[in-house]
Structure 1
Amino acid sequence: MAAKTAAVFTARRIGERRTMNGLYRPRRDRVIAGVCAGLARRFGMTPWTVRILFLLSCLLPGPQFVVYLVLWVMMPNEDRHMAGAR
């Protein structure tokens, strides 16, 4: 019985970890679209750290705003992500 309980607990933890590691835009911690908050959650950083890094990267030449817009369109919302994880 204890082995079965441990197996269920382990499977539940693996499922939680899988959904926590997904790349999605959370409903909370949004400023504009939730892209920076989603990237921060995925890579274990604070949302403000990612936002500051994004703003600093805008000082460099490159398509940062285009990448942000593409991520906004491509990253699923938290509701859709959690519905697909079930």
Structure 2
Amino acid sequence: MEKKLYKSRDRKVCGVCGGIAEYFDIDPTIVRLLWVAFILSGGCGILAYIIAAIVMDDNPVDIVN
């Protein structure tokens, strides 16, 4: 089965960090801390997060009909 990158239900804001953590099979807290470091080191993390939140799809397994 091919892995795909989706937003996670484990969300604090939009589920981007949780989705990245699920994709790489790591703790979401680590991804969130790295994302904060990117934001504080130059601000490009905010733009990257917004783009990822728009581009990434919700996980189809999590969508309830």
Please classify the TM superposition score into its range, dividing by the shorter chain length.
Answer: 0.7 to 0.9
Greater fraction of residues in helix: 1
With the length of structure 1 as denominator, give the TM-score of the two structures.
Answer: 0.64
Unpaired segments ≥5 residues, structure 1: 1-14
CA displacement at 1:56 relative to structure 2: 1.4
Number of equivalences: 61
Instruction: Select which of 72, 75, 83 maps to 2:53.
Output: 72
TM-score (norm 2): 0.82
Query: Over residues 2-40 of structure 1, what are the superposed CA-to-partner deviations in whole Å (9 max), with x where a residue is unaligned?
Result: xxxxxxxxxxxxx3xx2xx2100022x111100000111
Q: After TM superposition, which residue ranges in structure 1, 4 or more long, deviate above 2 angstroms?
A: none
CA shift, 1:62, in A, is 4.2
Aligned residues with identical type, % of pairs: 31
Structure with the higher strand share, 1 or 2? 2
Structure 2 equivalent of residue 7 of structure 1: none
Q: CA RMSD in A?
A: 1.3
Structure with greater Cα Rg: 1
